[in-house]
Amino acid sequence: MSLFSTQLSDIEKALEQASSYAEYRDACLAHDALSGANEWKAKDPCRDYDYRLIRKRVQRIKLAQSQHDIPALMSILHEGLHGNLGNIANPELLTHSKIGTKHLIQEFIDQVVSALEQIYTADEDVVDFYDKLTFFEETAHAYGRSCLMLSGGAGLGFFHCGVVKSLNEQNLLPSVISGASAGSIIGGMLATRTHDELLESLSAEFIYEHFKNWRLWGGLGNKSLLDSRALENTLIALFDLMTFEEAYAKTGRHVTVTVSPADLHQYSRLLNAKTSPNALITQAVRASCAVPMLFTPVQLKAKTADGDIVPYIPNRRFADGSIMADLPFQQLARLYGVNHSIVSQTNPLAVPFLTGARSHAKTLTSMTLRHISQLAKANSIFAFDIMEQLVPNRGGKLAIHKIRSVIDQQYVGNINILPDKQIRNLMQVVANPTLDSIKTLIESGERATWPQLDVIRRNTLISETLRNKLRALKQREARLFEHEPV
């Protein structure tokens, strides 16, 4: 074996054995330096993106900045700024290096952020305050934003803790988040806890102390196999009587909990500060965790202006959110303008069939397999539609309808974070956890997130800059209104 191969092999071992993101990142940088990836990054031309367009856009932005021409800068950004300009978010670009991307792409992103800062701080004798506000409102809306979606997964859902822990430590948590079933528990924690509070709440010891006995056997003679009292008590301890609106006021995060109806002729619901501001997070999460047969469906609750707790959507009960809306991307897009998704996926119905590949299928075999799977899915949905029409009794129709909903869903996003194969153990799905099993799941979540952190930072930097500046301008506007004479 050559010296080069030995060194590369040693670095790959360091990647596998890294105990922190800092160690992992250093090993990635060393690998790219030795493998030749740095030379690839330094060369602009590549068939995976439109380097001429990006180069020209960088030149135009630099020229306007050097001339302090703020109106021209606003026009350049307004006319052509979107998340995948010139295909710079092409997954194929991620296959050439362990970390980072083309220097030209990084320069473009940095130049846009610099331009946004220059526009924000521009003299308001040159650019009126309300022109700035309009620019940032329109550009932020057009550019879109990222969301984090946490899937169902029962006992495997503690994997999400590691994902969220890594994102939180790197200040990369999107402000739009959804959680279904087990994911709704972590979503609820994100809704109700600040950055610093999350550092404690996402520890293995904290999670174990609260969920060590979530599975209590209820018996065959009851309406459900498991007794929900331990889970309910834990959720009350975590979220108390906080509403979605109160949680948003505390953390500023748009957190959605998905629930599925327990009857026919109803669709999944997204509970959040926009759609159901007064709904209690505790009951929403409890409903989202109500896996059919394991737990009974739940009556949602809300808080009145006087602080009284009352039924929410009376006469309706709700169950496991992952049945009909494991990853509610389209609904989040309508509500919050998201157009890019980060998915932490632990759903035992989906994970065995997914891979962590960073590129699209492009060989004849892989494309054929993808086409066959799409045909199988379409045919299955058609078959369940026929069966639902033919089955006469209501219970049978409901069961078929829910199975169809499970098959019809999309279980992946733009960036997918999946557990290692060795922890995709169905025994963990309904088992009470041990402290060691929770530590393993959290560490697995962290390690699975590390390769994606650089990509997430790059993909979210412009959108977060736009929204931070917009938020600051709106705060200034609010202060201006406060001091206006009546």
**Domains of the chain, residue spans:** 35-142, 144-347+417-452, 357-409
- Identify whether the C-beta of residue 49 lies closer than 8 Å to the C-beta of residue 93: yes
Looking up tokens 């669709």 gives: 267
| 3-class SS of residue 31 | helix
Give CA angle at 134 (129, 136), nearest 5°.
95
Catalytic (active site) residue 131: no
Specify the CATH class of 144-347+417-452 in words: alpha beta
Catalytic member of 35, 166, 175, 181: 181
Q: Which residue has the higher pLDDT, 155 or 235?
A: 235
How many Cα atoms are found within 13 Å in the side-chain-facing hemisphere of 73?
26
Q: Is residue 372 pLDDT above 70, yes or no? A: yes
Taking residues 220-228, what's their average pLDDT?
67
As given in the structure block, the two tokens for residue 155 are 């006992």
Q: Return d(Cα 336, Cα 440) in angstroms, integer.
A: 34
> What gap in Å lies between CA 179 and CA 185, rounded to an integer?
7
pTM: 0.88
Return the structure tokens found at 335. 């509500």
Torsion angles phi and psi, residue 391, rounded to 5? -70, 125
Q: What band does 403 get if pLDDT is binned at 50, 70 and 90? A: low
Active site residue 9: no
Per-residue pLDDT band at 486 (split at 50, 70, 90):
very low
Under the banding of pLDDT at 50, 70 and 90, the label for residue 297 is confident
For residue 216, pLDDT beyond 70: no
Distance (Å, rounded) from C-alpha 194 to C-alpha 216? 31
- Alpha-carbon distance values, 329 to 149, 342, 409 (Å): 8, 10, 10
Rg of the Cα atoms in the chain: 24
Question: How is residue 257 written in tokens?
Answer: 């909990």
Q: What pLDDT shows up at residue 375?
A: 79
Which of the residues 175, 260, 268, 320 is marked catalytic? 320
Closest CA to 347 of 326, 316, 378: 326
Helix (H, G, I), strand (E, B), or coil: what is residue 121?
A: coil
